[in-house]
């Protein structure tokens, strides 16, 4: 389902409301709610708005959708980004769950990270995804090592390890951890937030032509609401 807006402000307003509703619904049902969030530049204004939202943050867990296997103070760490972007204002009350462990590789860390995510309420009440110009979403990069297991909708793991190939988008081969397609598929609210004509074209092309791209393969199995503004 596509939801298109004339301005980014309108999109952020609507998306803020939708995410708050999904989280409050989770709290009403089971006392706590979990929100899985992606990094990138696109969601920054959403995080700004969410950090001012007066919802029951002390009963909300904020967990990463995915992470680069770098130290948590590394400039490209999603955990570091998220702590700056979302652990503030009202949202500072939320419990934050990152992915990085001291293990050398994400493949060594799968058991430990899944143990950590076992504390996060499942299914996630809301999952926020982004889209890369190469058709990746979460850490489902084209041709990544671990991609088939990550996209396996029947998989039993919440978190999976991948190695993204060197490309124009990744810059270098990079080890990553991600929530799995199976975990995303169980969530009642999954949104893909994109802006600009380029991302729109990438997504349309993936859905219609480049159906081997990870975003298209995920969309085959998961009901995703796309939020788009120019």
- Least distance from ligand 6PG to the Cβ atom of residue 181, Å: 15
| Residue pair 31/143 in contact by the 8 Å Cβ criterion | no
What are the residues whose beta carbons fall under 8 Å from the beta carbon of 201, sequence distance 6 or more?
Answer: none
Closest alpha carbon to 184 in 131, 136, 126: 126
User: Least Å distance between CB 179 and ligand 6PG?
Assistant: 12
List the structure tokens of 87: 């652990």
Residue 43 per-residue DSSP state: T
Q: What residues make contact with ligand 6PG under the rule CB under 6 A?
A: 38-42, 66, 78, 130-132
For 50, phi then psi, to 5°, come to -65, -35
Whether the CB-CB separation of 137 and 43 falls below 8 Å is answered with: no
Closest CA to 100 of 84, 86, 122, 81: 81
**What are the phi and psi torsion angles at 214 (to 5°)?**
-55, -40
Closest CB 153 distance from ligand 6PG, rounded Å: 20
Shortest Cβ 196–ligand 6PG spacing (Å): 8
Nearer to ligand 6PG, 57 or 140 (CB): 140
Q: How far is the CB of 173 from ligand 6PG (least distance, A)?
A: 14
The C-alpha atoms of residue 37 and residue 22 are separated, in whole angstroms, by 14
CA gap 62, 221 in Å, rounded = 24
Instruction: Please state the closest distance from residue 30 (CB atom) to ligand 6PG, in A.
Output: 28
In the complex, least distance from residue 169 CB atom to ligand 6PG, rounded to whole angstroms: 7
CB atoms within 10 A of CB 59: 18
Contact 230, 10 (CB under 8 A): no
Question: What kind and span of H or E run contains 192?
Answer: strand 190-195
């Amino acid at each position: 389902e596509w939801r298109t807006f004339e301005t980014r402000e309108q999109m952020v307003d609507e998306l803020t409301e939708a995410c708050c509703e999904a989280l409050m619904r989770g709290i009403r049902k089971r006392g706590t709610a979990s929100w899985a969030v992606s990094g990138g530049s696109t969601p920054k204004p959403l995080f700004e708005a969410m950090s001012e939202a007066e919802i029951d943050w002390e009963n909300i867990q904020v967990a990463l959708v995915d992470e680069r296997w770098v130290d948590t103070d590394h400039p490209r760490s999603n955990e570091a980004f998220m702590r700056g972007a979302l652990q503030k204002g009202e949202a500072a009350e939320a419990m934050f769950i990152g992915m990085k462990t001291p293990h050398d590789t994400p493949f060594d860390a799968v058991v430990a990270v899944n143990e950590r995510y076992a504390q996060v309420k499942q299914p996630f009440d809301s999952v926020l995804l982004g889209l890369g110009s190469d058709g990746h979403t979460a850490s489902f990069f084209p041709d990544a090592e671990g991609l088939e297991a990550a996209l396996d909708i029947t998989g039993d793991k919440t978190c999976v390890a991948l190695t993204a190939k060197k490309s124009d988008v990744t810059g270098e081969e990079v080890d990553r951890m991600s929530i799995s397609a199976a975990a995303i598929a169980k969530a009642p609210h999954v949104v893909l937030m994109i802006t600009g004509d380029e991302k729109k074209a990438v997504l349309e092309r993936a859905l219609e032509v480049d159906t081997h791209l990870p975003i298209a393969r995920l969309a085959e199995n998961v009901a995703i609401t796309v939020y788009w503004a120019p």
